[in-house]
Homo-oligomer: A and B are copies of this chain.
């Protein structure tokens, strides 16, 4: 009986169409319109969705009762009664986002528009399930403690992002390079402890959801987010919905083989992964090696020893025109460009969003990427894709994780996972 539960969930019966589905569908269709295109009038929603005016009115009333949609004012008259404008109320709820990484945990409280209300940064010591849960709960409490009771009641849930292979349906880690909790019921333990919805996903995916909800992908149905920092990751939106693959492992862009025979060893233990060729840590590794090998560069004066070199040094040097730094970025950009070319050939996306850590290095990558794309994409498909750059900071990750909450609450049933 109980044993049956999990397989049953994986092959759950398909959603059948009954009146509830209809209402769900239409009501989210309306909410979506208001969120993406608001302020907007009922009549306009009806015209654009194809729903009847009466249906729109009723559905809007539902969202108003729930406090998620408000009337914000009236538009100019177009010869008759002035349209009443409706707006998504981004202040109607709060969400907590947590980004976990090797030895750090950054948490935020945001409103539904992603505006940060409070931040908590602290050390994180990867441990067993209980130790990990305990640290997350502590951070959560520190974050919620200053809130008054009313605000605390408005918190809708918690989203957590981390690097690794996550099964978001089960709420477990399948494999992660820094957190040895494979298979442990991390999400469910947390739900028990904090008494509100908790969502878990890969960090690149959380960033992607944020871009879809509030960022550069709001009106794009097929796009890919590539994140570039110490590692490289990707999140894939297909038909407006995050694509997880068969078991949550989709989007491991950083580990696609690019130079599997003669490339450098990657953190994952294999050779020539894109991440080992194009990430900022790979650039740093090559810069240190070049300095140690005696390559001339202004970097030599910036640090006492190659080991002290940081990304900031490299960016400064590149800004100042240093050949070595620029060359390394360009080479990394070409490698990344090859990866992006593969994405474009395979996915033919409408848009690719490049999220760069701090984003300052991104412009040095960009040239290499664009040139490579033109060379390596078939049929001129690269002209069909828009490249967009977005800056990523420590907090951005946490804010992204927080958007798992509204994504779950307010997304259409067709986009809600299986």
B residues within 8 A CB of A341?
256-257
The answer to whether B48 and A246 have CB atoms under 8 Å apart is no
What are 13 pairs between A and B in contact, CB < 8 Å? Answer: A17-B17, A17-B23, A175-B379, A243-B347, A245-B347, A252-B345, A256-B341, A256-B346, A257-B338, A257-B342, A342-B342, A343-B346, A414-B414
The answer to whether A174 and B14 have CB atoms under 8 Å apart is no
The answer to whether A25 and B29 have CB atoms under 8 Å apart is no
The answer to whether B250 and A348 have CB atoms under 8 Å apart is yes
Asked whether A345 and B379 contact (CB < 8 A) given A16-B26, A22-B18, A26-B17, the answer is no
Q: How far is the CB of A50 from chain B (nearest CB, A)?
A: 4
Asked whether A17 and B25 contact (CB < 8 A) given A257-B338, A375-B270, A378-B252, the answer is yes
Q: Mark A369-394, 1 if CB is under 8 A from B, else 0.
A: 00010011111110011000000000
Q: Report the separation of the CA atoms of residues A50 and B18 in the bound assembly, to the nearest whole angstrom.
A: 11
Q: How many residues of A contact B (CB 8 A)?
A: 66
Verify if A49 is at the interface (C-beta below 8 Å from B): yes
Residues of A bordering B, CB below 8 Å: 13-14, 16-19, 21-26, 29, 48-51, 165, 174-175, 221-222, 234, 236, 238-239, 243-253, 255-257, 260, 268, 270, 273, 338, 341-343, 345-350, 372, 375-381, 384-385, 414, 418
From B13, B250, B349, B418, contact of A245 by CB (8 A): B349
The answer to whether B246 and A376 have CB atoms under 8 Å apart is no
B residues within 8 A CB of A378?
252, 255, 268, 270, 273
Asked whether A165 and B379 contact (CB < 8 A) given A13-B50, A16-B50, A342-B257, the answer is yes
The answer to whether A17 and B22 have CB atoms under 8 Å apart is yes
Asked whether A255 and B175 contact (CB < 8 A) given A22-B18, A222-B246, A249-B384, the answer is no
The answer to whether A379 and B246 have CB atoms under 8 Å apart is no
Asked whether A345 and B384 contact (CB < 8 A) given A26-B16, A260-B338, the answer is no
Number of copies: 2
B residues within 8 A CB of A377?
255
Q: How far is the CB of A209 from chain B (nearest CB, A)?
A: 17
The answer to whether A250 and B347 have CB atoms under 8 Å apart is yes
Kindly report which residue of chain B lies nearest to residue A239, judged by CB atoms.
Answer: B418
Q: Report the separation of the CA atoms of residues A14 and B51 in the bound assembly, to the nearest whole angstrom.
A: 10
B residues within 8 A CB of A253?
345-346
Q: Report the separation of the CA atoms of residues A256 and B23 in the bound assembly, to the nearest whole angstrom.
A: 43
Q: How far is the CB of A166 from chain B (nearest CB, A)?
A: 11
- 19 additional A-B pairs beyond A244-B348, A250-B348, beta carbons within 8 Å, are A16-B25, A17-B17, A17-B24, A17-B26, A17-B29, A18-B22, A22-B22, A165-B379, A234-B346, A236-B346, A238-B238, A245-B347, A246-B350, A250-B347, A255-B378, A256-B342, A257-B342, A270-B378, A346-B346
